[in-house]
Amino acid sequence: MVSFRKLPNIIITGTPGCGKTSHAEEFVSQNPEFTHINVSEFAKKNDCIEGYDEDRDSSIVNEDRLLDILEPLSEKGGLVIDWHCCEIFPERWIDLVVVIRCDNTVLYNRLEARGYKQSKITENVECEIMQILLTEAMENYNSNIVVELNSESLDSLDENVSRISQWVEMWKENNPNGISNELD
């Protein structure tokens, strides 16, 4: 039996500190039919952590287990997946990839305020300068579904959430019966 999802699945990705979680939370607060999946928290709650990287000061996620748990949720649609990478998620699951970008000085200050080690701040700022996450999104998904948004203030957050909401409304209009979860 073919299954259809009536709501799109969205990834909000970007360098740590750019505002992924703030965007996802604000979007879901305005669109309660969607479910926010903060992958870092979700992985911990669902036993998807397989170790700890001392150098990066971060947990190591068992991506296969994570995907196995998320797959049935993705088939229902309406997910807003919030994580610092996007390429692990199958393209057939995803309808929009939002890459949040941030000015390097603003990013540095945000990470410093979080208490990140200098090495972690440097690594993340360099990642942002090199546009690593934007490049990963463009290489792993159809460029038509990848959107780059800047996030440096509350005004930009509000504007970005409004843009994502407008996109969702267009998706619903263009897919009144939903879309198939089956492979083409």
Q: Is 21 annotated as a binding residue?
A: yes
Q: Is 20 annotated as a binding residue?
A: yes
Q: Is 105 annotated as a binding residue?
A: no
CA distance 63 to 48: 7
3-state secondary structure of 10: strand
Q: Is 78 annotated as a binding residue?
A: no
- For 163, the enclosing helix (H) or strand (E) is helix 154-174
CA–chain centroid gap for 121, Å, is: 20
Q: Is 17 annotated as a binding residue?
A: yes
**Residue 67, CB half-sphere, CA atoms under 13 Å: how many?**
12
Q: Is 19 annotated as a binding residue?
A: yes
Phi, psi of 17 (to 5 degrees): 95, -5
CA–chain centroid gap for 18, Å, is: 11
Written as one letter, the residue type at 3 is: S
The token pair that represents 138 in the structure block: 């463009």
Taking each helix axis from N to C end, the angle separating 118-129 and 104-113, rounded to the nearest 10 degrees, works out to 150
- Which residue ranges are tagged as binding site? 17, 19-22, 114
* Residue ranges of the binding site for ATP: 17, 19-22, 114
